[in-house]
Amino acid sequence: MTYFNTTHATDETLRRYEEKADSQSQIIFDYLRKNKEFGFTPEELGAIFPAGIPITSIRRALTNLTNQGLIIKTVTKRKSKYGRFAHCWKF
């Protein structure tokens, strides 16, 4: 499971949230796999999927996919629009 039920959703609502989280993770995984020569920050992925996946969901998916050993968090960092450096992830 890749959804963290911090709002204590139940039954059908919880199932929908879990499916959405799984779908978001799959979209990000597929994108990284198809673009494996590049690394992406969460913010860069947010610009690629602006309406479909909130930045917090992108970060959750990247963490879960990394913990599952499906992608890697690189040592490469890029400056975000907020002036902070963020790690890049890649397949």
Environment class of 28 (CB within 10 Å of its CB; exposed 0-12, middle 13-18, buried 19+): buried
Architecture, CATH, for domain 11-90: Orthogonal Bundle (1.10)
- pLDDT 10s per residue in the chain (91 long)? 577 766 777 778 778 878 888 889 999 999 999 999 999 999 999 999 877 789 999 999 999 999 999 999 999 999 988 899 999 999 9
CA nearest neighbour of 60 among 1, 2, 15: 2
Q: How far is CA 84 from the centre of its chain?
A: 19
What pLDDT, on a 0 to 100 scale, did the predictor assign at position 14?
Answer: 75
What pLDDT, on a 0 to 100 scale, did the predictor assign at position 90?
Answer: 97
